[in-house]
Amino acid sequence: MKRVGLFFLHLILLIHTVTAQSVITIDVHENGNALWTMEEYLPLANQDEINEWEEYIQSGESTEQYQYDIEEFRGRIEWFIILAELSSNRSMNAENYNLSYDTLNTLSGAFGIVRFSFEWTNFSHTDSNKILIGDVFSEGMILSSDNVLIIEIPENHEVASVSPNYDRHDGNRLMWEGTIARSFNKGEPALVLSREKTDTGIWVLVPALVILAAAASVILFKHKKSSISGTKNNAYPI
């Protein structure tokens, strides 16, 4: 087991090298809160490394390392929250910290996954029907060539403005890919989200036409009934 522990330590060190890919996903909620998930994909060169990785994450020895990693993660995030509060002049909170490990097998190779997540209360500023994102990034952000930033916007919302522009999108997922010298300025990425405009004109018109048609039918029926009644009275006077 000692060998496994040393192997895990080696993988933790690899997180900060160019061989590991980092994916940061910010799932923004309509109320301004957000679920942050940070994933590190660590390449496993051969079957021995795969076996050692899986043995470690399934063993009881991972409990002590888990507690150490989650506390270190919590400390870094809490410091980040303090800086964000000072920058935005808004109260915030981080909760529901979680750390998990996984293995991913692909055609190009196998990866060990270290996944951190937490919920950020009051991450974005909400104003009427708009969601404003960016004031928490007090020092901007740097994406190296092995980093990807994904911001998921709420359903029924669209991007009114964004800086810098995202590289690609998949549905409501906006993606910025790292380059050798990709960096964001203070307050970036900055987004303004607004509710999608729906074309309700025809649907407003249809009920109105139905009501008019119903009213016309009632009037026509009463008029017809009155005519029939008048005819009967003329044919058979009392």
- What is the helix, strand, coil percentage profile of the chain, to 5? 35, 35, 25
Residue pLDDT, tens place only, 105-164: 988 899 999 999 999 999 999 988 899 999 999 887 778 888 899 999 999 999 999 999
- Alpha carbon of 109 to those of 41, 50, 220, 235: distances in Å? 11, 10, 77, 97
Poorest-pLDDT segment among 102-106, 133-137, 227-231: 227-231
Residue pLDDT, tens place only, 16-48: 444 568 999 999 999 999 999 999 999 999 999
* Sequence-ordered list of residues with C-beta below 8 angstroms from that of 151, at least 6 positions apart, any chain: 25, 26, 28, 133, 166, 173, 174, 189, 191
Residue 182 has pLDDT above 80, yes or no: no
* Spatial separation of the C-alpha atoms in residues 34 and 122, rounded to whole Å: 8
**Annotated domain spans of the chain:** 2-195, 199-238
Question: What is the chain's mean pLDDT, rounded?
Answer: 79
pLDDT at 235: 44
236 — pLDDT class (breaks 50, 70, 90) = very low
Residue 218 has pLDDT above 60, yes or no: no
Question: Rounded mean pLDDT of 179-185?
Answer: 76
